[in-house]
């Protein structure tokens, strides 16, 4: 299983990397060109990603999405502590590798920024991270005998079983962390990043999940389809009989047949409510 995961990671990275470079089949010049990458563009996309994830039901009053800095890849950009639906470019804060604001006068960011910071440290392939309380996913974080598993062809980026991070695995040996459901320090963030490993998604018990991607559109699309996969798996399991999951061949094939991530991104943007 580990090897399948590793292969999946490698293929997935290749797939992501190819998105802009891939030669268009004849007669396809209409495929939207992604804008040139820059920190300005990443910040603009971060504002969009934040509003999209609210609109698609992934984020509520809490939760956050971040993006790695292109100029200084040990740093990342995060909105200040605020409802994600209301984020604008003025609310974005640059944090360093230790999740400390570069500008000492910067506004306060969310206490759980360590989820992002610790993942960026150990996953150089990751350019964007979503942490949400996506409701449809949480049931699978509290039922150890029923893991989240890929059933949807669109969710072939999921590992065979999505791992669940539980602070109890850390706090059992550290009385200072007992009962801490918030991942709001570096130790808990690093433990979560270890549970994620080379995967695309990790659940957080009774709390939510973290989803990573090679760009903001990838992380956003994965967060949305993780949620849809959870809903379908839940309904299928409720039928009380055998459920067919994606098999190893299918998980390996997924990044090869990778779909156009610009399509959900454009669609999600188009259905955003107009700004007030």
Catalytic residue positions, numbered: 112
Q: Considering the complex, state which of residue 74 and residue 171 has its C-beta at the smaller distance from its own copies.
A: 171
Q: In what order do the strands lie in the sheet with 92-95?
A: 92-95, 76-79, 64-68, 128-132, 208-213, 201-204, 164-165
Q: Compute the distance between CA of residue 206 and CA of residue 96 in angstroms, rounded to an integer.
A: 29
Q: Shortest Cβ distance from residue 124 to its own copies (Å)?
A: 28
> Of these, 5, 11, 41, 133, which contacts its own copies (CB under 8 A)?
133
Identify which of 196, 219, 201, 199 has the alpha carbon closest to the alpha carbon of residue 46: 219
Q: Annotate each residue in 187-226 with x if it binds its own copies (CB under 8 A) or - if it does not, as one string.
A: ------------------xxx-------------------
Report the Cα 1 to chain-centroid distance in Å. Answer: 22
The answer to whether the CB of 109 falls within 8 A of the CB of 45 is no
The residues with which 78 forms a beta bridge, in sequence order, are: 93
Query: Which range of residues in 45-53, 65-73, 81-89, 209-217 is near its own copies by CB under 8 A?
Result: 81-89
Q: Count residues contacting its own copies (CB under 8 A)? A: 82
Q: Annotate each residue in 149-188 with x if it binds its own copies (CB under 8 A) or - if it does not, as one string.
A: --xxxx-x--------------x------xxxxx-x----
Q: Which of residues 13-42 bind its own copies (CB under 8 A)?
A: 24-31
Q: Which of residues 229-248 bind its own copies (CB under 8 A)?
A: 231-232, 234-248
Q: Compute the distance between CA of residue 113 and CA of residue 47 in angstroms, rounded to an integer.
A: 17
């Amino acid at each position: 299983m580990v090897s399948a995961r590793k292969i999946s990671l490698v293929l997935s990275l290749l797939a992501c990397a190819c998105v802009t470079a891939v030669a268009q089949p004849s007669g396809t010049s209409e495929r939207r060109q992604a804008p040139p990458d820059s920190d300005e563009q990443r910040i603009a996309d971060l504002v969009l990603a934040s509003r999209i994830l609210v609109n698609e039901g992934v984020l509520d009053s809490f939760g956050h999405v971040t993006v790695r800095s292109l100029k200084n890849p040990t740093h990342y950009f995060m909105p200040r502590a605020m409802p994600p639906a209301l984020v604008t470019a003025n609310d974005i804060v640059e944090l360093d590798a230790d999740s400390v604001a570069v500008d000492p006068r910067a506004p306060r960011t969310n206490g759980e920024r360590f989820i992002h910071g610790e993942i960026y440290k150990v996953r150089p392939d990751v350019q964007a991270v979503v942490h949400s309380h996506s409701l449809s996913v949480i049931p699978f974080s509290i039922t150890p005998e029923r893991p989240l598993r890929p059933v949807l062809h669109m969710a072939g980026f999921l590992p065979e079983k999505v791992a669940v991070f539980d602070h109890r695995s850390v706090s059992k040996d550290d009385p200072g962390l007992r009962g801490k459901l918030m991942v709001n320090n570096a130790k808990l963030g690093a433990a979560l990043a270890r549970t994620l490993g080379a995967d695309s998604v990790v659940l957080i018990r009774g709390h939510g999940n973290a989803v990573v991607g090679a760009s903001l559109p990838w992380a956003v699309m994965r967060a949305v389809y993780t949620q849809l996969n959870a809903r379908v798996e839940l309904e299928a399991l409720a039928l009380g009989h055998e459920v067919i999951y994606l098999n190893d061949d299918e998980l390996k094939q997924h990044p090869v047949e990778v779909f156009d991530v610009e399509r959900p991104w454009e669609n999600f943007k188009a259905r955003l409510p107009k700004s007030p």
